[in-house]
Structure 1
Amino acid sequence: MLLRLTLAFVAFAISLNTYAQSRIEKINNHNIEVLQIETTKSKAIVVFENGSRETLDKWSKVIEDIKNEATIFACNRPGYGKSDETEALRDGRTIVEELRKTLQHQGSKPPYLLAGHSLGGLYMQLFARMYPQDVAGVVLVDAVYPGVIKKTADFPLYTRIAKRIFFSKVINQEIDQIFNTGEEVLALPWANKIPVERLFNVPKSAGAIAVDFGVTDSGSKLAAMVEGLYPNANTTIVDSDHQIQVANPEVVVAAIRRIMTAKAVKEPIVKTQLNGTRITVY
């Protein structure tokens, strides 16, 4: 018990230390909370995008491990953390353009290695399709994929009511646009030359190895569509929870490093195949 408490305190201290390095930047007349840690040891720039209802401190453990190997960039979207809210549409295309302008404002030049968690992963997929020339690679951490989330009009009534009651205006707007953002992703071609690392949370305790796409309709057609989006991706299955970057940051760091160095830095315990997909199981 004492060891667990000690480790929890250390993790909390790391999070506070990393988060304390963020600052407020005035961009297009809006205050945006930005974390930028530069290193001269590498030309790589790793750009992190948060999931829904999450702030940049969720990446703290990953950032601490990788900050000496690459320049780090993370920010809180409008309406998150200390960033101002905005009246702009909360669809993926608008959010990608805001992120790109923030990167430019901070003097961060491409190519970028994009790392996105959950809904942030959907935004990073769109970024890579809108600006493939600016992208060195993509790490998708238990990401949302096009078609996985239905239109909010098709949510159960109690879900729609709870969403409006318990979530902020900005978060509601983002959720309402998830389906449309997915359509924006599908409308653009994919550049196969961009390396992709996909991390999925599928606890080993669940039994046979299987990829959990988090689909609302677990039909094989939808699963096949998600699988076909990135046919050359390396897929990692980890016994974790949805917050892989918090619970198992070493797996996210390993994925980033594989793209940075074009080789694995950690031998997996198991390598196998699942429906033709390369699978790495830790």
Structure 2
Amino acid sequence: MRVIPILICLQVTMAAVAQEKLVSVNGQQFHILTKGLENRKAHAPVLVFENGLGMGLGNWDTVLDELSQTAPVFAYDRAGVEGSERVFKMPTVEVVARNLKAILSSQNIAPPYILVGHSMGGLYIRGFAGYYPDEVAGLVFLDPADFTETKKNWNDIFRKLGVPEKRIDEMLYDRLYKPSVIDSVRFGPSSEVQVLTDLRKTDFAEIASLPIPDVPLFFLIGGKFEVPPERRSKDFDQAKFFEIRADVNIERWKKFIYSSSRGGSLVYLSGSGHYLHRDNPKAVIGVIKMLMESLGE
């Protein structure tokens, strides 16, 4: 009979480990979640998660609990997304990096950080690592927005598919230069789309100018083509485009990994789509743990 109260106490203690709250930083409210910080050892890295475009921190619910048993975790919503306050300021790479740094500092979460970024979040962790290279212990990119891509890279794929040059120019204009209006109601996600577009116009010049920290670099890439037939382009074979683009992206990401003396890894998950941390959380958890083991954690 005495076992039951003990089990209840253990459950309450475990539930109290995760903390979810609003914090005020740089004059605005950010929704954050932390777990396992109370067990952090001196100088041990914290896992810091950057969400995909327009996604909230709940998108990580498939991996956070298990990873928090290995290392402290921190996740948050960028400005104007999900639980964070909407502020009409463009979420440039530098703005997002400065905000994240301020949030971490406000919560006394000192470096080093292992940054994990999905999609647009991959671009943002690359930016943070460039602005604060000495605070980063490792980078994990999950099917990231390709910050190494140039307009020529993009056009060359269409040339391989036999698309006429005139049509290539028209598609590039539609992708990057066609006038668009940012949705004020969904300013966070809408403005992030505009930031990505502006970076593509310059071949990611801001990102390319930033230093790459000498830390382990890990990539996980989803290989499942998910566009349904009714939504595919009429101008070219979109499935073939996906295949070619994945091949050329992987080659550039391999070169990016080689830029670090600490090495890294690239894992191609053929059965996973863009949200591979949801399609295959075990693989994502395994790779992050592998990175931590390489640091001796």
Structure holding more helix per residue: 2
Are 1:228 and 2:245 an aligned pair? no
Q: Residues of 2 paired with 1:215 and 1:147: CA distance?
A: 17
Q: Residues of 2 paired with 1:173 and 1:156: CA distance?
A: 17
Following superposition, the deviation at residue 167 of structure 1 comes to 8.1
2:199 pairs with one of 170, 177, 180 = 180
Q: Residues of 2 paired with 1:183 and 1:217: CA distance?
A: 24
Q: How does 1:38-117 map to 2 (within 5 A)?
A: 38-40=37-39, 42=41, 43-117=44-118
Unmatched segments (≥5 aa) in structure 1: 1-16, 205-211, 265-282
* C-alpha contact 1:46 1:114 (8 A) present in aligned 2: yes
Q: Which residue of 1 aligns with 2:277?
A: 245
Return the index of the structure with the highest Cα Rg: 2
Q: Which residue of 1 aligns with 2:290?
A: 258
* C-alpha contact 1:24 1:31 (8 A) present in aligned 2: yes
What root-mean-square deviation, in Å, do the aligned CA atoms of Structure 1 and Structure 2 show? 3.7
Q: Residues of 2 paired with 1:203 and 1:99: CA distance?
A: 31
SS of aligned partner of 1:79 = coil
Q: 1:96 to 1:215 in 2, by over 3 A?
A: farther
Unmatched segments (≥5 aa) in structure 2: 1-14, 155-170, 226-238
Following superposition, the deviation at residue 184 of structure 1 comes to 1.5
Q: Residues of 2 paired with 1:219 and 1:71: CA distance?
A: 33
Q: 1:84 to 1:253 in 2, by over 3 A?
A: same
* C-alpha contact 2:54 2:188 (8 A) present in aligned 1: no
Are 1:34 and 2:32 an aligned pair? yes
Q: Count residues in correspondence.
A: 238
Percent sequence identity is: 23
* C-alpha contact 2:50 2:125 (8 A) present in aligned 1: yes
Q: Residues of 1 paired with 2:107 and 2:132: CA distance?
A: 18
Q: Residues of 1 paired with 2:30 and 2:210: CA distance?
A: 28
Q: Which residue of 2 aligns with 1:169?
A: 187
Amino acid at match of 2:143: D
Q: 1:94 to 1:154 in 2, by over 3 A?
A: farther
TM-score by length of 1: 0.73
SS of aligned partner of 2:62 = helix
Choose between structure 1 and 2 for higher RCO, CA contacts under 8 A separated by at least 6 residues.
2
SS of aligned partner of 1:61 = coil
